[in-house]
Amino acid sequence: MTNYVIDPPAVTAVPVAGGGLFPVRRVFCVGRNYAEHTREMGGDPDREEPFFFMKPADALLINGADMPYPPKTGDLHHEMELVVAIGTGGRDIPEAEALNHVYGYAAGLDMTRRDLQGAAKKAGKPWDMGKGFDLSGPIGEIAPASHAGHPSAGKIELTVNSAVRQSSDLAKMIWSVPETISYLSGLVALAPGDLIFTGTPEGVAAVVKGDVLEGEIAGVGSVRTRIV
C-alpha cells in the first residue's frame, strides 16, 4: 500500500510494431544534427558539438491522434526525426557498444513554436516553452531493432497535405546514433524507457490548422497527425 497524496502520474506508452507497449521515461532531443538544417537555422555545421534539450514524456502524441494548434504561437513548425528508444541504460557508453542499448526506432515529429524558440535564443533564455509544450511530440509505432535492425542510412521524408516538405537521408546525420548515445550517456545516465529524437533535416516550415502531416523513415515506420 503506497502513500501517495495524489494519484501518481500515468505512464506514457508508445505502441510497438507487432504488439506491446514501450513505456517512456524521458525524451531527449538533439539540436542541429543535419548540416543543411543547421545552415537554414543560421548555424555552422562544422563547429558545433552535439547539444540536447528535452520534452516531457507526456508531451508525446500517440497513434496518429490530432494535434491541437498550440497556444501562444503563430509559427508552429514541423521537424521530422528518427527516434531512438533506449532499452538498456548506462553511463559513459562506448560508441562500439551503443547499439546494444537500443530497443528500437520510430518516426517522430519535434513540433516547435519557432517564434517562442527564436525569442528565447535571442534573449539567451531556455528554449523549453518553444519545444516542450503539450502534445509537441507526435510519434509512430516503435520498430524493434531485433526485427528491423539498426538503420544508419535510408530515406527520411515528411509530406504536408501530400506535398513533400522534408526529404533527406539518415546517412546525413552529423552525429550518428552510436555517437549520440555515447555523448549523451557521458552527460547523464541513460535509462530504459528514454527516447532520443535525433534531429531534423532541412525544410522545416510552418503548418496551419487543417494540415495533415505524414512522415516516413525507410525500414523504420511512419508518423501521422492532423493539426486541428
d(CA 98, CA 1): 38
Q: Report CA-CA distances (Å) from 106 to 32, 138, 187, 199, 201.
A: 19, 10, 23, 13, 16
Residue range at the interface with Mn ion (CB under 5 A); choices 4-12, 49-57, 104-112, 136-144? 104-112
200 is a site residue for Mn ion (CB under 5 A) = yes
The least CB distance from residue 199 to Mn ion, in Å, is 5
The residue type of 66 is D
Site for Mn ion in 42-71 (CB under 5 A): none
| Closer CB to Mn ion, 79 or 194, in the complex | 79
Residues 80-99 binding Mn ion (CB under 5 A) are: none
Residues 149-188 as b/e (b if ≥16 CB within 10 A, e otherwise) read eebeeeebbbbbeeeebbebebeebbbbbbebbbbbbeee
Pick from 12, 60, 104, 110: which binds Mn ion (CB under 5 A)?
Answer: 110
> Could you say which residues in the range 114-173 bind Mn ion, by CB under 5 A?
none
User: By C-beta, is 140 or 144 nearer to Mn ion?
Assistant: 140
- Cα–Cα dist 115/120, whole Å: 9
Min dist CB 104 to Mn ion, Å, is 20
Start-to-end CA distance of the chain, whole Å, equals 42
Q: Which listed range, 142-150, 159-167, 168-176, 192-200, lies at the site for Mn ion (CB under 5 A)?
A: 192-200
Of 35-43, 89-97, 105-113, 175-183, the window that binds Mn ion (rule: CB under 5 A) is 105-113
Q: Which three cell numbers stand for residue 62?
A: 500517440
Q: Which residue is nearest to Mn ion (CB)?
A: 110
- Distant-in-sequence contacts of 120-128, Cβ < 8 A, 24+ apart: 127/53, 128/53, 128/54
Give how many residues touch Mn ion by CB under 5 A.
3
DSSP H or E segment with residue 119: helix 114-123
Choices 36-44, 87-95, 194-202, 218-226; region in contact with Mn ion by CB under 5 A: 194-202
Least Cβ distance, residue 110 to Mn ion (angstroms): 3
Q: Considering only residues 37, 79, 180, 220, which one is a binding residue for Mn ion as defined by CB under 5 A?
A: 79
Rounded-to-integer distance, Cα 41 and Cα 48, Å: 13
- Residues of the shown chain interacting with Mn ion in the complex, contacts defined by CB under 5 A: 79, 110, 200
